């Protein structure tokens, strides 16, 4: 099947004033701490797209739980092909993963309950399932007590999404990546950068997919068109309607915020939104928002702790910009919008490249006291243009280069298993204190180190912009190694 390249048009041609789009971008730039990029489609055309450098159009981005919406789509294909039914018992697919006796509630759990995250668990089984010593996350899911009747109470549950992935792999004999490639990814021109697997080789269902922003927008456009793409029905329209409709209430007992975007109902791994919209979303502001009434799609990547701030900007600034008909061209506003979109960037902290201690600490190895970050030794190599942080991290040696002016764009495996693009900036914020900002820019994560040098010691204060755990870490002290052992 051939792919359709999304065409770019002026916003006015699709009924959106360029001036209002500019106001939306300014709001993101002013009020969202870490906007990374967006693509806006209307009537099937790209009307605006932009990335805050060092993020860029050609780089993928971690999607976190937005992955779940792709898992739902894989289930939809499997249902359409007659491989399973959403009313099938979940345990019937995994007899080898069950204990000798299963509870009545677990026996009653259906595929539908996995899709709607109403599995009957009173507490999220994901932590215990993913920390099993044998690495069998599916068996861990079934080992968790199912104390409630399935299908009744919503409980956000990434382990349920993972069991959906395992289920598709079970009935198709293929990983989700391989199964979706000819059915979804290839027809839409999507080229996944990666999709993580669990220790048993099952594609992770709750997170782990990396895509480019426009690829997420293409997925949203397929949903908006009820499964049709390039004149062919790629995904059954009935599945799209089911998956994107409210299937279960996600309002907690006594919920008092009817205008909150996380209590508008939940579909099959999709969230309902205010204003008749629905979305897939992932931690720290990864969004695929579908606007059926406005015939529009917005894909966004961010690095924010408070995801509702992004949605509020969408409802307050973007939603009112959609007009019902084509508008007169506005060359001045279009030019201003193009200039703005082409100059977006995440500013580096103010830089001071001169410090009296720089020559003294250049290349000195500091042995660090035990710490949460796993840094054993640390040194800084200084130059006229920047610094290089050199650390031994849990027996692995890594380097991260930082520039005094702007960002140094390179690669590093610092604080991760794999090498990823890294943007580094260095600034002496005090004569004896060096701030290193490390931006892993295919992810939401920014790590900042303040290194205070005192005679033969360094005190390191690490922190992160966002994290699934803590963002502030205790300061760590290091002592300079004797000169004869520094190399």
Question: Residue 202's CB: how many other CB atoms inside 10 A?
Answer: 21
Res 353: pLDDT: 82
SS3 449: strand
How far is C-alpha 193 from the chain's CA centre?
Answer: 13
Provide the β-strand partners of residue 222.
none
Q: What is the sign, positive or negative, of the torsion defined by CA atoms of 238, 241, 243, 247?
A: negative
**E-strand spans in 106-205?**
194-195
Q: Enter the DSSP assignment of 359.
A: H
Res 483: pLDDT: 64
| pLDDT tens digits for range 181-226 | 999 999 999 999 899 999 999 999 999 999 999 999 999 999 999 9
Q: Are 233 and 227 in contact (CB under 8 A)?
A: yes
Radius of gyration in angstroms for the set of CA atoms belonging to the chain, rounded to a whole number: 25
| pLDDT tens digits for range 258-310 | 678 999 999 999 999 999 999 999 999 999 999 999 999 999 999 999 999 99
What pLDDT band is residue 416 in, cutting at 50, 70 and 90?
confident
Domains defined along the chain, listed by start:
12-342 (3.40.710.10), 358-485 (2.40.128.20)
Res 1: pLDDT: 38
Mean pLDDT of the 378-400 span:
93
| pLDDT tens digits for range 323-334 | 999 999 999 999
Tell me how far apart the alpha carbons of residues 236 and 196 are, in angstroms, rounded to a whole number: 27
Q: Are 442 and 59 in contact (CB under 8 A)?
A: yes
Question: Residue 346's CB: how many other CB atoms inside 10 A?
Answer: 22
Res 256: pLDDT: 55
| pLDDT tens digits for range 125-184 | 999 999 999 999 999 999 999 999 999 999 999 999 999 999 999 999 999 999 999 999
| Mean per-residue pLDDT over the chain, rounded | 94
Res 24: pLDDT: 98
Asked if the model's pLDDT at residue 319 lies above 50, the reply is yes
Q: Enter the DSSP assignment of 274.
A: G
Res 116: pLDDT: 98
As a 3-state breakdown, the chain gives helix, strand, coil percent values, each rounded to 5, of 30, 25, 45
Residues of the chain with pLDDT > 90, as a percent, come to 90
Mean pLDDT of the 50-64 span:
97
Mean pLDDT of the 367-387 span:
92
What pLDDT band is residue 487 in, cutting at 50, 70 and 90?
very low
SS3 396: strand
Alpha helices in 304-418 (DSSP H): 307-313, 331-342, 358-361
Closest CA to 262 of 219, 316, 311: 311
**E-strand spans in 91-230?**
194-195, 209-211, 228-229
Better pLDDT: 255 or 260: 260
What pLDDT band is residue 486 in, cutting at 50, 70 and 90?
very low
Mean pLDDT of the 73-93 span:
98
Would you give the end-to-end CA distance of the chain in angstroms? 58
Res 4: pLDDT: 63
pTM, rounded to two decimals: 0.95
Q: What is the sign, positive or negative, of the torsion defined by CA atoms of 351, 305, 246, 117?
A: positive
Tell me how far apart the alpha carbons of residues 38 and 307 are, in angstroms, rounded to a whole number: 15
């Amino acid at each position: 099947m051939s792919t359709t390249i999304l065409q770019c048009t002026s916003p006015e041609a699709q009924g959106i004033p360029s001036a209002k789009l500019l106001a939306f971008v300014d709001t993101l730039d002013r009020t969202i701490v870490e906007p990374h990029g967006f693509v806006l489609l209307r009537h099937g055309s790209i009307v605006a797209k932009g990335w805050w450098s060092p993020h860029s159009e050609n780089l993928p981005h971690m999607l976190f739980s937005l992955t779940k919406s792709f898992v739902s789509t894989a289930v939809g294909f499997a249902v359409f092909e007659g491989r399973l039914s959403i009313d099938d018992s979940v345990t019937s697919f995994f007899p080898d993963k069950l204990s000798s006796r299963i509870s009545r509630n677990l026996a009653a759990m259906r595929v539908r309950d996995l899709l709607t995250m109403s599995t009957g668990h009173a507490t999220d089984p994901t932590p215990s399932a993913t920390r099993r010593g044998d690495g069998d996350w599916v068996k861990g899911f079934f080992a968790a007590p199912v104390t409630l009747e399935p299908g009744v109470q919503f409980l956000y549950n990434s382990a349920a999404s993972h069991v959906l992935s395992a289920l598709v792999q079970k009935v198709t004999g293929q990983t989700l990546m391989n199964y979706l490639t000819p059915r979804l990814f290839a027809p839409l021109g999507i080229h996944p950068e990666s999709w993580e697997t669990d220790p048993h080789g099952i594609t992770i269902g709750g997170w782990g997919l990396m895509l480019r922003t426009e690829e997420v927008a293409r997925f949203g456009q397929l949903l908006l068109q009820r499964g049709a793409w390039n004149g062919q029905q790629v995904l059954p329209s009935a599945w799209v309607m089911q998956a994107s409709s409210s299937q279960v209430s996600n309002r907690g007992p006594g919920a008092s915020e009817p205008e909150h975007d996380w209590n508008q109902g939940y579909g099959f791994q999709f969230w309902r939104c205010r204003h008749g919209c629905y979305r897939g979303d992932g931690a720290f502001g990864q969004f695929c928002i579908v606007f059926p009434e406005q015939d529009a799609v917005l894909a966004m990547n961010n690095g924010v702790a408070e995801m509702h701030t992004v949605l509020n900007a969408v409802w307050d600034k973007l939603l009112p910009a959609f007009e019902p008909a084509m508008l007169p061209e506005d060359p001045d506003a279009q030019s201003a919008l193009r200039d703005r979109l082409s100059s977006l960037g995440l500013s580096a902290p103010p830089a001071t490249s001169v410090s009296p201690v720089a020559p003294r600490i250049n290349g000195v190895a500091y042995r660090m006291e035990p710490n949460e970050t796993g840094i054993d030794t640390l040194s800084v190599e200084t130059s006229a243009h920047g610094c290089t942080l050199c650390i031994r991290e849990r027996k692995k040696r890594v380097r991260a280069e930082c520039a005094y002016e702007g960002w140094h764009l390179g690669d590093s495996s610092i604080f991760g298993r794999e090498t990823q693009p890294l943007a580094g900036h260095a600034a002496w914020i005090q004569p004896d204190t060096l701030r290193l900002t490390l931006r892993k820019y295919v992810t939401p994560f920014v790590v900042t180190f303040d290194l205070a040098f005192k005679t033969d010691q360094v005190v390191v204060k690490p922190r992160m912009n966002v994290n699934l755990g803590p963002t502030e870490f205790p300061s760590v002290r290091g002592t300079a190694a004797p000169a004869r052992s520094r190399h």
